[in-house]
Amino acid sequence: MSSDGEDFYYDDADDGFGQDDDIMDDIDSESEPDVFDALSPTIEEAPSKKPYDVSYKVRSPQELLDMQNKEIKKIQTLLEVPSSAAATLLRHYAWNAEKLQEEFWTDSAKSLADSGLSPPGSPSTSIASLPPRSTRQTRSSHQEPFDCPICCDDFPASQFEEKTFALGCGHRFCRGCWQEYLTGKVKGEGESARVQCMESGCNRVVREEAVNELVTSDVSARYHELLNAAFVADSPNLRWCPHPSCEYAIECSQAPPRMLNQLVPTVVCHCGNDMCFGCGYAADHRPVLCKIVKLWEKKCADDSETANWLNAHTKECPKCQSTIEKNGGCNHMTCKKCKGEFCWVCMGPWSEHGTSWYQCNRFDEKSGINARDAQAKSRASLERYLHYFNRWANHEQSAKLDAEFYKKTEKKMEQMQNSGNLSWIEVQFARDAVSVVIKSRILLKWSYCMAF
């Protein structure tokens, strides 16, 4: 949840807000509503939550940015480094401030080098803020033309400061090459926090203020979007809403991996859609656990049931191993590829069956029994899967028609208001009934997955 310590949460141990019981007892009944309003949780949930509900908060992109800036400012003050260096350190350590501080105080030089920053004592890590062009040489200190190592363009000494750029590592290139390189990294490869120097073998990270100075505004905007995405991906308590065109993220600290065997952490985004915080599934899949949902989705998506169907309805020629499907006729099979003749029941050579063209005389032999049993098991497994899958898929298809269901209900509500002299509030029962039906349908859908 929020790291500023200002939010309050329910405490299961004392059934309160974590406040002293004696203090709460001194509050009279008339003042209790005001106290509750002042101390009520800032999380998006009802005060009396159910045992299977989790506490969570929906975060906007600006709130995510504020969370990052708060952590950056804290590390900047503790380690006495520039804000961009603090941001680079935090991103390298996946925003784990405790691990960062421990390793930085143990060996600051190694910590900075591993993060792609300048060593301790250099101008880029020893001042509170960086000037826009702190790493450039002045005209007075550089009197020779510059040849860009990448594009091989020559720049006179008078344009050295204006047309070239170098990081703290000292590797200098022209601004055109820098812009093309950073644009490709950001827009082409989707990189942000770990964009390194163009020099081969150099792991110096291109920090935020350098990117903002070298690229166009649209690339810079995309760069900051990727930084936000990386922040959410690195945090175990944050997850993006998976629904299209939704820009919100969900923060939840009550759904660690060890708890996913006991609960399904369903949350509701500001866009109005449900999602499972545990596995990121874009819907409520209660009562099925996340690991079972993943297995079911994989089984429905891959070719496992295709192979099962082949085992149940086809066999391989015992001579050339060609796959053959029997679509009628007797058990006397002739392979079209190798012209080999065999019995469909026992898979033995047809020459050993004598004149028994329509009946196999080897049913009691071990090989024949095993072949029949294997095929029977495959058919039974396939029929069982299709039984549950068809019912699951029917509810899945019905769920796709919920939007149309809502539209019809809204029209019916308008008709009831116009013809029955009912108020808007009085006809809300219809919408509530539709919501119950949809939730029940979702519950039934996943019950078939659980039964399988």
- Residues composing the chain: 452
d(CA 276, CA 444): 17
d(CA 362, CA 349): 11
Tokens of 59: 């975060």
Residues near 144 by Cβ (< 8 Å), separated by ≥ 6? 157
d(CA 1, CA 251): 6
What is the separation, in whole angstroms, between the first and last Cα of the chain? 37
- Preceding omega of 33 cis (within 30 degrees of 0): no
Look at phi and psi of residue 399 and say left if phi exceeds 0, alpha if psi is from -120 to 50, else beta.
Answer: alpha
d(CA 205, CA 90): 13
Residue 279 bears catalytic tag: no
Are the C-beta atoms of residues 332 and 324 closer than 8 Å to each other?
no
d(CA 275, CA 282): 5
Residues near 60 by Cβ (< 8 Å), separated by ≥ 6? 247, 248, 270
d(CA 247, CA 371): 56
Q: Which of 175, 177, 179, 178 is nearest to 219 (CA)?
A: 179
Sign of the CA dihedral with 127 first, then 130, 133, and 139 last: negative
d(CA 326, CA 322): 13
Residue 218: how many other CB atoms lie within 10 Å:
11
Phi (first) and psi of residue 209, to 5 degrees: -65, -30
Are the C-beta atoms of residues 147 and 168 closer than 8 Å to each other?
no
Judging by beta carbons within 10 Å of its beta carbon (0-12, 13-18, 19+), is residue 51 exposed, middle or buried?
Answer: exposed
The amino acid at residue 15 is: D
From 148, 241, 290, 330, the catalytic residue: 330
d(CA 274, CA 241): 9
Are the C-beta atoms of residues 157 and 139 closer than 8 Å to each other?
yes
Catalytic positions, written as ranges = 330
